[in-house]
Amino acid sequence: MNCQRVQESFLDHQDGTLPADESAALRAHLASCPTCQREWAALQEITRKLDALPVPAPSPRLREQFYAMLDTHERQATHSGNPFAFARSRLDRFFEALLPHRPSLQFAFSLALLAGGILVGARVLAPEPATVAVPVVDPSSKEEIAALHRRMDQMGQLVADSLLVHKSTNDRLQSVLATMDVANPDRKLLADLVSALAFDPSVNVRLSALEALAPHTKVDVVRAGLLTALPRETAPLVQVGMIELLAAAGEREATPILDKISRDTTANQNVREAARRALAVLRAPLSPPTDNQNASNKPAQPILT
Amino acid sequence: MLSIAPEIRVSPPVAAPNVVAMAEELPTDHELMIAVRAGDIPRLGDLFERYHQRLFAFFVRLTSQPSTSEDLVQLVFYRILKYRHTYRDEGKFTAWIYHLARKVAADHWRKQSNTPIATDPTELPEVVDTAPDSAEQTAGREDLALLRVALAQLPVEQREVLVLSRLQQVEHRDIAQLLETTPGAVKVRVHRALKELREVYFKLRRERAA
């Protein structure tokens, strides 16, 4: 055994892992070699010192921080405010145990799932087009569908008309006021005005319609409209306007209605008085037509000014 | 003239000496880690109790910074928790935890941008000694302080292999696995590191005596 070999075996010799025969040869060499003796002594000293180095101890802070970290992790995992977290982790573990871990098996499993999905999809979704085709074949169903189509068209028309009719109050008022500028309105326009007078929900629109109709009381549509609208009217202002207009027009057919209003105790006092005045006018002998014409313009004036 | 019985560590260099010393029914490190991996997180506490002091000593010897070393130990256990799913069934826990510890140390040095080497004994962590002082004890403490300085002056590769083999008592086979080399090569490195340490130490002692 030469010196280099001996010195290389020092560590194993020190650890006691050197085979017995080599260990004996080493000791024999050491006994006769001063250089290796010095090396061995120096190694012994340094390892002894190294082993004597005190083991540094951590402060309690380390343990505290570790358990705080563990607590935080546990809280986040199970009590993070999500009641499903625990169940989910259990579920994850269940599927982890159930599903394959090897990539090749995972791939095969995915392929099997895909094939199964296609198979099920083909079976479940295929009959659907056949059921859709049935009503096309059946003639009675065909008629039914045609009828439904017609009804749908009608409803569409109705909705369109409603949209036209139900403009904003301001728009309706503008429409009515616009008719005042027309010198000789046709029956359609007058009929529209009468409709506004009878059915418009806004008092302002009805008053404007009444004013627009005032010059045209000679037209039968207007008078008939006034007679129809008067019993429906609820606003005293419009009622008084209508009564005065009918009286001015000398519409004797209004007498029963006016009579009824004049006796109606629930009616507005002004309306009843107006009805009584109109009855007096209508029951009176015929007035000159010029006065009627002048008077016909009068009632609308105080209403609108 | 056979092997020197270590004064501090009397147990043979095994993966978890305290486990061997204690009752046989105690779970092994590997079993505990498998449990942690399966979601039994509190079992990590058992592993912490078995390993935190060793890891702390490892980091203190490597960095010479006790406070930083505590943070690094904490970081190792944090990574165990974070990467517990990567622990392999056939793995060895000791090798794995030291592997993580080395990575944590490497990250630490990367952040520091240079390896901190303490050259003055006053910069090194002092070990509290409550025993009454004698001249011999004082001389012994100075010796140990010099040795710590010598150790800190070694290149980090040599320091690491010495700490693992002599102070942490990790088996040469496990060190070889950590360093991705053979056990024979590890022995050679340990031998060279010891020789280097001895030279630095005696040089420091001569300078001190002069």
Q: What is the mean pLDDT of residues A92-109?
A: 79
B-chain residues within 8 Å CB-CB of A67? 45
Q: What is the per-residue pLDDT across A49-98, written as a single tens digit (0 to 9) for each? A: 888 888 888 999 999 999 999 888 888 776 555 556 666 667 777 777 77
Q: What is the mean pLDDT of residues B5-9?
A: 35
Distance (Å, whole) CA A27 – CA A12: 13
Please, where in chain A does CATH 1.25.40 lie? 169-304
Contact B39 A58 (CB under 8 A): no
Q: What is the mean pLDDT of residues A157-168?
A: 60
Q: Which residue in the set B1, B144, B187 is minimally distant from A11, CB to CB?
A: B187
Distance (Å, whole) CA A30 – CA A16: 16
Residue A229: burial class (beta carbons within 10 Å; 0-12, 13-18, 19+): buried
User: Strand, helix or coil at A59?
Assistant: coil
Contact A53 B197 (CB under 8 A): no
Contact B3 A70 (CB under 8 A): no
Q: Which residue in B103, B83, B68 sits closest to B33, CA to CA?
A: B83
Q: What is the per-residue pLDDT across A280-294, written as a single tens digit (0 to 9) for each? A: 888 876 544 444 444
Distance (Å, whole) CA A10 – CA B95: 26
pLDDT for position B136: 61
Best to test chain B binding among A36, A55, A88 (most B CBs inside 10 Å): A55
Question: Does this complex have an ipTM over 0.85?
Answer: no
pLDDT band at A298 (very low <50, low <70, confident <90, very high): very low
Please tell me the pTM assigned to this model.
0.49
Question: Residues of chain B with pLDDT > 70: what percent?
Answer: 76
Between B9 and A166, residue with greater pLDDT = A166
A-chain residues within 8 Å CB-CB of B137? none
Q: Write out the DSSP string of chain B.
A: --PPPPSS--S-S-S-HHHHHS-TTSPPHHHHHHHHHTT-TTHHHHHHHHHHHHHHHHHHHHHS-HHHHHHHHHHHHHHHHHTGGG--TT--HHHHHHHHHHHHHHHHHHHHSS-----SGGGSPPPP--SPP-HHHHHHHHHHHHHHHHHHHS-HHHHHHHIIIIIS---HHHHHHHHTS-HHHHHHHHHHHHHHHHHHHHHHHHHHH-
Q: Which residue in A250, A221, A242, A261 sits closest to A303, CA to CA?
A: A242
Q: Is the pLDDT of residue A11 over 70?
A: yes
Q: Is the pLDDT of residue A2 over 50?
A: yes
pLDDT for position B137: 67
Question: What is the set of domains in chain B, with CATH numbers?
Answer: 15-116 (1.10.1740.10), 134-210 (1.10.10.10)
Q: How far is CA B59 from the centre of its chain?
A: 6
A-chain residues within 8 Å CB-CB of B147? 46, 49-50, 53
Q: Is the Cα dihedral B62, B55, B122, B198 positive or negative?
A: negative
Say which residue the tokens 């207007």 belong to: A222
Provide the shortest C-alpha distance from residue A37 to chain B (in Å): 11
Distance (Å, whole) CA A247 – CA A300: 12
Lowest mean pLDDT among A12-21, B13-22, B172-181, B191-200: B13-22
Between A140 and A305, residue with greater pLDDT = A140
Neighbour count for residue B47 (Cβ, 10 Å): 20
Q: Which two tokens stand for residue B139?
A: 């001389």
Contact B52 A58 (CB under 8 A): yes
CATH architecture classification, A169-304: Alpha Horseshoe (1.25)
Q: Which residue in the set B3, B9, B77 is minimally distant from A15, CB to CB?
A: B3
Distance (Å, whole) CA A96 – CA A100: 8
A-chain residues within 8 Å CB-CB of B143? 49
Contact B143 A10 (CB under 8 A): no
Best to test chain B binding among A30, A46, A101 (most B CBs inside 10 Å): A46
pLDDT for position A289: 46
Provide the shortest C-alpha distance from residue A7 to chain B (in Å): 9
Q: Which residue in the set B2, B8, B198 is minimally distant from A46, CB to CB?
A: B198
Q: Is the pLDDT of residue A44 over 70?
A: yes
Q: Which residue in A300, A234, A304, A305 sits closest to A271, CA to CA?
A: A234
Q: What is the per-residue pLDDT across B60-118, written as a single tens digit (0 to 9) for each? A: 988 888 899 999 999 999 999 999 999 988 878 988 999 999 999 999 988 876 555 55
pLDDT for position B78: 94
Q: Is the pLDDT of residue A135 over 60?
A: no
Q: What is the mean pLDDT of residues B123-139?
A: 54
Lowest mean pLDDT among A35-49, A102-116, A119-133, A210-224: A119-133
